[in-house]
């Protein structure tokens, strides 16, 4: 297991669409392990492989608080098969857009079909924070960021701020 570097906005890698996993290999299991370690270290509650520069459809999520027992879930090739008409608003943040939070409206409940690390097809129905988190991470797999759900003005403001910060860091 290894902690990997996070890809930070405005890196264009974040806009790549991730490729499906063809087989659950030892490399995919190692990737999931590294993703969990990276997510816990950040700390965060969800991570898509593209956020560590790997354009493959793998997501890790663990909603346990720091003082609770870890309950990690690894989603391989996750897809939303159903979403409720009822909407919910959650404040979202992103490890690839550090220290920026904004309220985002998404479906309140979703059904997700995915493969687990044993290659078995699973389906779960999620609501609340888990529904928000899995939708956020699946967006990443499709090159979509949570700021894309905001107004154009807010999205441009945060994008410019991170672009300016990246220029300062590369000049240093």
User: What is the residue-level pLDDT of the chain in tens, covering all 172 positions?
Assistant: 799 999 999 999 999 999 999 999 999 999 999 999 999 999 999 999 999 999 999 999 999 988 899 999 999 999 999 999 999 999 999 999 999 999 999 999 999 999 999 999 999 999 999 999 999 999 999 999 999 999 999 999 999 999 999 898 888 7
pLDDT of res. 73: 97
| The one catalytic residue among 37, 68, 85, 137 | 137
CA atoms lying within 13 Å on the CB side of residue 96: 28
The secondary structure element, H or E, covering residue 161 is: helix 152-171
pLDDT at 22: 97
pLDDT at 51: 98
pLDDT at 171: 86
Structure tokens at 20: 């499906």
Peptide bond into 136 cis (omega under 30): no
Q: What Å distances lie between residue 62 and 39, 56, 76, CA to CA?
A: 9, 19, 15
CA angle, residues 163, 165, 167, in degrees to nearest 5: 70
CB neighbours (10 Å) of residue 150? 17
Q: What is the mean pLDDT of the chain?
A: 96
- The single residue listed with the structure tokens 């969990």 is 36
pLDDT of residue 170: 85
DSSP secondary structure letter of residue 159: H
All domains of the chain in start order, with CATH = 12-171 (3.90.45.10)
Burial bucket for residue 100 (CB in 10 Å: 0-12, 13-18, 19+): middle
- Known catalytic membership, residue 105: no
Q: For residue 61, what pLDDT is reported?
A: 98
pLDDT of residue 67: 85
Give the CB-side neighbour count of residue 52, counting CA atoms within 13 A. 23
Q: What is the pLDDT of residue 126?
A: 97
């Amino acid at each position: 297991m290894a902690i990997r570097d996070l890809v930070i906005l405005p890196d264009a890698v974040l806009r790549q669409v991730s490729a499906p996993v063809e087989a659950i290999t030892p490399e995919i299991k190692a990737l999931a392990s590294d993703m969990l370690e990276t997510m816990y270290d950040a700390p965060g509650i969800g991570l898509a492989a593209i956020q560590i520069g790997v354009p493959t459809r793998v997501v890790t999520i663990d909603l346990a608080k720091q003082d609770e027992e870890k309950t990690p879930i690894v989603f391989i090739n996750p897809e939303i098969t159903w979403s409720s008409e009822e909407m919910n608003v959650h404040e979202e943040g992103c490890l690839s857009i550090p220290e920026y939070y904004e309220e985002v409206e998404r479906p309140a409940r979703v059904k997700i079909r995915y493969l687990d690390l044993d290659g078995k097809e699973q389906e779960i129905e999620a609501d609340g924070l888990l529904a928000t988190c899995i939708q956020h991470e699946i967006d990443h797999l499709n090159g979509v960021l949570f700021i894309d759900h905001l107004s154009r003005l807010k999205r441009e403001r945060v994008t410019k701020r991170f672009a300016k910060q990246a220029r300062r860091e590369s000049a240093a």
